[in-house]
Structure formats: structure tokens, C-alpha cells
Amino acid sequence: MSTITDVARVAGVSVATVSRALRGLDRVSPETRQRVLDVAEELHYVASPTATSLASGRTRVVAVVAPFLTRWFFATLVSAIEKELRSRGHHAILFDLEDDTYDQRLPLTQNMLWKRVDGLITLNVPMEPDEVALVDRLGLPLVAIGSSVPGRPCVRIDDRTTMRTAVQHLIDLGHERIGYIGDVPRNVAHVQTPQDRLDAFRATMAAAGLPVVEEWILGSDWTAEAAARDGAGLLRLDPRPTAVVAASDEMAIGVRESARGLGLRVPEDFSVIGIDDYVLSGVLGLTTVRQDVAAQGRAAARLLLAALLEGDEGSDEVVMPTELVVRSSTGPVPA
Amino acid sequence: MSTITDVARVAGVSVATVSRALRGLDRVSPETRQRVLDVAEELHYVASPTATSLASGRTRVVAVVAPFLTRWFFATLVSAIEKELRSRGHHAILFDLEDDTYDQRLPLTQNMLWKRVDGLITLNVPMEPDEVALVDRLGLPLVAIGSSVPGRPCVRIDDRTTMRTAVQHLIDLGHERIGYIGDVPRNVAHVQTPQDRLDAFRATMAAAGLPVVEEWILGSDWTAEAAARDGAGLLRLDPRPTAVVAASDEMAIGVRESARGLGLRVPEDFSVIGIDDYVLSGVLGLTTVRQDVAAQGRAAARLLLAALLEGDEGSDEVVMPTELVVRSSTGPVPA
DNA sequence: CTGAAAGCGCTTACAG
DNA sequence: CTGAAAGCGCTTACAG
């Protein structure tokens, strides 16, 4: 493969001129520029990103940091981010912080970031104080999605409003005995989303003058499996709720399956609503409050690119709207 | 942040010695090595990957190339690969080749690879001849998952055997009128997996002396939505199949929903089986032929790392086993 | 066992 | 408008 020196030699100019011509910098005569471009094309010249990075101090690489990669929400974000970055000449390097345990995760280290990336996007990862300090020390711009990082821009939905919409939908259908699934996991108490959603559930119930039954509030690890298992326990209680709000569609799907397994008809005997509009929710007829996950990824990538390319280091919050999507998993309270 | 020069100065040795000591090379006295390590730690020294790459010619970065990122199969692979790479000091850079159209995809370019990665893993992407030539020219090791690349190692399942297992399960249950969903998409006729699975469907039916009804073979774009829509059409035919084999679980889920939508009981009136053991298949009670997707990702990463670190450039095929998992979406043929 | 020096392939002031 | 030269921060023969 040819280097900038080859191009310079063939074009009969210096490497400095090749560098300027190829990057479209000013102060190169049109004829010279054209000659350089022609030669570069002819030699299939592509600048070595590693040399460019060393010389310029910029890598054009962004770290995408996620607590899991396999779940729909995160995979959808990663895909949207990667495309947006690439359209502006940047690349995504991945850090999956998933550990073998549910409540633990790998820490962000200097090793992952230093001279490797120009900035980072965190996907719903609550940052530890020393991680925040590390990113500050390295002077890297950061955009958060979901779980916000102090002093940094954040793209998210309004978890409280979203949950209120879900609960209100059930209340509007006449339900009074409403259960909840998606309690805050014990050892990740610093995660904001589960906390906000549960708070909003309680607040909405209180505002409607409805009691919250503590034993109808379930934990589960935010997977459909756990929700199906826990949901079966919930629905065997007497009395049992006539409806359940799940903090995610995947959990809602699990609960609905457990209801069916117990012979309950959905929505005639039992209603369930989730949050997300998961990829299968339409096909499965799940009522949900939709969020546009890909749009959040694109917005975050654009914010980071603005910081990288234009030096626009805002600390704005971008709050994306959510909307109720009524399908067939919810219905009027049974008589 | 400190550089190798800082460490050398504080430790009172040359940068060459620091470099050797830190990388654990031979011919450094134990005392010198320890002093260097101490100083490096004290200064929070981390070698600049960009400088290391330029000097050594290796980036320790691997391109992970996928046709989509949001679908479960690919997200699961990416997650497994990223972890395996990181455990050996490598990183994953992502290339999502998804275009806006289903039958097109972005091409792999020199720009993505040259001096940017040490090798690549392709996730079920059928490579064009000029892409293969590019990778050859750049001298990059490559490991394929799923769709194989000539002369390169490949990790996959045996699509024919897997499909045969699925079809045979239905035949064993007494079904004779069996439909198929997951025909080969028109403009991606070079994709091997759909082709192999459909071939195996036909062969297995033939071997059992059963007719294949051409209008019971559906295309669909391998999403649950399309399968639900197409499945509804299929099940309105008269006569209609008593069972359907879907080439993926996501499609099987779609077909099952369309059956339920038409008032058919599953599995009493209608059976459906998929392939994958998708993340929700357990909860949804879908009968399937399971493949271990994460294991395929790990195996591919290990093969690539062997090529990178030990120079073991095999061209082995690794064929992973699959297994029938009977759940509640299949049952005996209705009387 | 250790160091001086060249080299990796660019970018970026500085001159002219 | 263009070039010579320093510099980015490492690794790697080559000497000793």
C-alpha cells in the first residue's frame, strides 16, 4: 500500500502539500490539488489512520459504552450511533461492561480511553465518581443516554411522564388493583430509570386515590424470563391485581405469558402494559408506551460530533417524547 | 498524561528499556524492570495505542462486520466477540453494513480497514469478490461466521442438518401438509443460509415421500412482522398446511401470532417450529432447534486471535451442534 | 543487560 | 501557494 510519500513523489510535490490538498485545506492551487487528487486515486492511497492520529492527536473513534449489548434497547442504540458516526467520518469502538453477575459491571479504565478515543457515549450506565473523574482528567467529551452524568449532555425520555402515561391508561380502563414489575435492583440502586419509573407509579396511583399493594411490586432482573416466573407468583396471590404495569415490554411479555399459563384471558381477565415498543411488541399485540430508541442514539451521536467537530460542548438535556400505543394486551377491568 | 519519556526520565533509564520492561520482554534485569513498573504505576502511565500502532504496525483492533446490528442474532454475536477480544487485549470496531434497503448493503472499503484493524470477523455477510480481493491485498486475517468466505476459516452450524431436524420433528408428529417461511430473498441470492435451509426442507420432505406445495413456501424478510403478515395469507388458503417450519424463531413467532389471530389454537389446530432459540422463545413456549450463538462468536474470536497472536492461519470449518427443543408450539397433527 | 538512533506516516507551525 | 523540518510517542534492530 502506498504512503503519503509515494503520492508526493509521483505528483512532484512535498508531503505537506499532499496532506493539505487531500484534506481540502486552503492555500493549495487548484491545479496542484487536482494533480494530487488524481495521483492519490491512481495509487489507491488512503491515509494511515494510525499515523494521522498520532500526528493530529485525534483518533476519530468514539467509545460506545454499554452495560449489555445483547438486549434490544442497547443493540438498537449501538446500531443508530454507529451509522450516525460513520456518516461523519467517525468510528465506534465497543465496550460491553457486562460482568458475569447481574449487579456488577466492569469499570471504565484509562486503558480503554487514553489516546484511543476522542469521546464517549454511555448507554444507560450510571458512572461511578472515579470514572467521571477519569473522563474529566482525560478531557474527553461525553454524551450520556438514559442515565445522566453530572455536567454532561444527556439524551433520554422522561421516565416519570412515560410511566404516568402507562399507569393512567390502566386507571382510565377502570383498573384499581394494579401490580408493578421492574422494582429497583438492590445492588444497582444508583440506576435512575428503575427508580424514576417506580416513583412515578406510586405517585400516579396516589394521585388517583388508589392503594399501592407492596406485595404486588416485583423485582425481577428486567428479563422476560424472570418476569414470567415472578409474574406467575404474583397472579397466584389472592386477591390478585387485575392489571400489571411492567417497566419494560420484555417484562410485560413475560407477565402476559404467565397469565396465559394460569388460564387467564388477556385482556378479558387480566391487562398488562409495558414501556418501550420493543421490536416484537407490535406482532405480539402488546400495549405499550413507545420510545424512539434509534432517535435517541442518533441525537446522542450528533451531540458528541458537535463537541468533537465544532467544539460545542453543551450540557443540554434532550428529552425525547413518548407515546401511548394501545394494542390488545389491555382492556376494561373485569366486572 | 505522562509519556514513555517521562517514565524513562524518572526511572533513570532509556525509553527503549522502559518499552522492553513494560512489555515483559527478556533481557531486562529484574531490578530495572521493577523500578520501571513502579514508576509507570506511580505516573499512571498507559502507552499511547496510537503511537504503539504506528511503530509496531499492529492496532490490536478487529473489525466486526455485520449486515444489521439490531437483530438478536447479530447483537448476541457482537457481545460475545467483544468480550473474547477484550480478554486478550484487543478491541472491536463495528461496521454495520445495513443500508436503507433490505436487499442492498454498504460495501467494505479500504478506508474501513487499512491500518485501522489487524483482522476482521464477518457475521453472516456474503462477501463480494472485490471485497475478498481487498482483504487479501491488505493481508488481513479473516474469520467468517455463518456465510463462509473462500479459503478462510468459518464458524457455523450445519444449516441442512438443523433444518432437517426441524422438519423431521413435524413429520414425526404426523404432519404431512407442511408450509415453509424464510425463502431466499431475491436480490441476496448469494446468501447461503436461506438457500441451504430451504434445500434441506425440500430434501427432507422428499425423503419422507411428502409433497412440497409451492404456494406454501413464503418469502418474508426474516422479521416477525413480515412473517405475521405473510403467515396470515398462508393460513387463509384452502387447503392450508397443518404446520409451518420457519427458518428463524422470529418468523415462527410471527406465524404463530397470525394463526392465533385467525382463531387457530396452537398446537391443537396448528403447529409451528423455528430455528435459533431466540431470547424470548423459552418464555413464549416456542418449539425450536437451538443454536448457541454466543459460542459461535467466541469460537470465531478465538480463531482470529490465534491468527493474530500465534500466526495460526487455518482455514478450518468449525461446525457447531444444534439441538431440538420441544416446547408448546408443536403437537400432533389434528385428526 | 542497556542505550542511541532510525523509523512508523502523518500534521503543523514556520519560512519564504 | 509551497517546502523543509520538527514532532506526535512509541518499537526495533544495531551496538556495545
HEC secondary structure over A203-249: HHHHHCCCCCCHHHEECCCCCHHHHHHHHHHHHCCCCCCCEEEECCH
The contacts of residue A74 (CB under 8 Å, 6+ apart) are A66, A67, A68, A123, A124, B75
The reply to whether B34 has its C-beta less than 7 Å from any atom of strand C is no
Residue B274 C-alpha cell reads as 423455528
**A91 vs B72, B93, B280: nearest CB:** B93
The reply to whether A206 has its C-beta less than 7 Å from any atom of strand D is no
Nearest protein residue to nucleotide C13 (CA to C1' distance) is: A16
Helix (H) or strand (E) holding B54: helix B49-56
How large a percentage of chain A has pLDDT more than 70? 97
Domain assignment present for residue B331? The answer is no
Claim to verify: residue B109 and residue B165 sit in the same structural domain = no
Name the least confident of A146-150, A272-276, B155-159, B293-297. A146-150
Rounded Cα distance, A163 and A169, in Å:
10
Give the pLDDT score at A1: 78
How large a percentage of chain B has pLDDT more than 70? 97
Domain assignment present for residue A277? The answer is yes
pLDDT (mean) for A36-41: 93
What is the amino acid identity at position B169? H
Say whether residue A115 is in contact with chain B using an 8 A CB cutoff: yes
- B210: closest CA of chain A, how far (Å): 31
Claim to verify: residue B138 and residue B166 sit in the same structural domain = no
pLDDT at A277 over 60: yes
Which of B53, B42, B50, B45 lies closest to B15, judged by CA? B45
Number of domains comprising chain A: 3
Domain assignment present for residue B205? The answer is yes
Question: Which residues of chain B make contact with A114, given a CB cutoff of 8 A?
Answer: 1, 46, 48-49
Give the pLDDT score at B109: 92
The pLDDT confidence band at residue A236, using thresholds 50, 70 and 90, is: very high
Within chain A, residue ranges assigned H as helices are 4-11, 15-22, 30-42, 49-56, 72-87, 110-113, 129-138, 159-172, 192-207, 224-235, 249-261, 281-284, 293-305
pLDDT in tens, A282-312: 999 999 999 999 999 999 999 999 999 888 7
Rounded Cα distance, A217 and A236, in Å:
14
Claim to verify: residue B149 and residue B40 sit in the same structural domain = no
Give the pLDDT score at B240: 94
Domain assignment present for residue B332? The answer is no
Surface of A (201-260) touching B: CB under 8 A: 224-225, 228, 250, 253-254, 257
Rounded Cα distance, B105 and B131, in Å:
13
Claim to verify: residue B163 and residue B68 sit in the same structural domain = no
Rounded Cα distance, A310 and A122, in Å:
21
Which residue did the predictor score with more confidence, A335 or B207? Answer: B207
Claim to verify: residue A177 and residue A288 sit in the same structural domain = yes
Please identify residues in chain B, positions 54-113, with a C-beta within 7 angstroms of any atom of strand D: 54-56
Q: What is the DSSP string of B282-302?
A: HHHT-EEEEE-HHHHHHHHHH
Q: Distance from residue A26 (CA) to nucleotide D1 (C1'), in Å? A: 9
pLDDT at B187 over 70: no
Surface of A (169-208) touching B: CB under 8 A: none
Claim to verify: residue A284 and residue A304 sit in the same structural domain = no
Q: Label residue B151 exposed, middle or buried (CB < 10 Å: 0-12, 13-18, 19+).
A: exposed
Nucleotides of C under 7 A from a protein CB: 1-5, 7-13
> Which structural domain, as residue segments, surrounds residue B198?
159-292
Report how far apart, in Å, the C-alpha atoms of B172 and of each of A270, B204, B255 are.
37, 12, 21
Rounded Cα distance, B48 and B20, in Å:
15
**A53 vs B50, B78, B225: nearest CB:** B50
The contacts of residue B68 (CB under 8 Å, 6+ apart) are A79, B74, B96, B98
**B79 vs A53, A69, A110: nearest CB:** A69
Residue B159 C-alpha cell reads as 444449516
Say whether residue B330 is in contact with chain A using an 8 A CB cutoff: no
pLDDT at B287 over 60: yes
Claim to verify: residue A144 and residue A100 sit in the same structural domain = yes
Q: Judge: A253–B283 Cβ closer than 8 Å, yes or no.
A: yes
Residue A304 C-alpha cell reads as 458528541
Domain assignment present for residue B242? The answer is yes
pLDDT at B313 over 90: no
Domain assignment present for residue A100? The answer is yes
pLDDT at B325 over 80: yes
Instruction: Tell me what the pLDDT averaged over chain A comes to.
Output: 92
Question: Which residues of chain B make contact with A283, given a CB cutoff of 8 A?
Answer: 224-225, 228, 253-254, 257
Surface of A (62-81) touching B: CB under 8 A: 64, 68-72, 74-76, 78-79
Which of B75, B83, B65, B66 lies closest to B279, judged by CA? B75
In the 8-state DSSP scheme, what is residue B145?
A: E
Claim to verify: residue A92 and residue A152 sit in the same structural domain = yes
The pLDDT confidence band at residue A98, using thresholds 50, 70 and 90, is: confident
CATH of the domain at B189: 3.40.50.2300
Claim to verify: residue A165 and residue A286 sit in the same structural domain = yes
pLDDT at A74 over 80: yes
Residue B58 C-alpha cell reads as 499492529
Claim to verify: residue A174 and residue A144 sit in the same structural domain = no
Q: Judge: B284–A96 Cβ closer than 8 Å, yes or no.
A: no
Give the pLDDT score at A153: 95
Nearest nucleotide, CA B4 to C1': D9
Q: Label residue B50 exposed, middle or buried (CB < 10 Å: 0-12, 13-18, 19+).
A: buried
Candidates A43, A58, A68, A70: best to mutate against B (most CBs of B within 10 A) is A70
pLDDT (mean) for A224-231: 94
Which of B116, B107, B105 lies closest to B138, judged by CA? B116
CATH of the domain at B10: 1.10.260.40
Domain assignment present for residue A329? The answer is no
Name the least confident of A245-254, A309-318, B260-269. A309-318
Claim to verify: residue A39 and residue A146 sit in the same structural domain = no
The contacts of residue B207 (CB under 8 Å, 6+ apart) are none
Claim to verify: residue A298 and residue A288 sit in the same structural domain = no
Name the least confident of A127-131, A187-191, B103-107, B156-160. A187-191
pLDDT in tens, B213-224: 999 999 888 889
Question: Which residues of chain A make contact with B41, given a CB cutoff of 8 A?
Answer: none
Across the strands, what pairs with A319? A156
Name the least confident of A89-103, A294-308, B45-59, B122-136. A89-103
Domain assignment present for residue A52? The answer is no
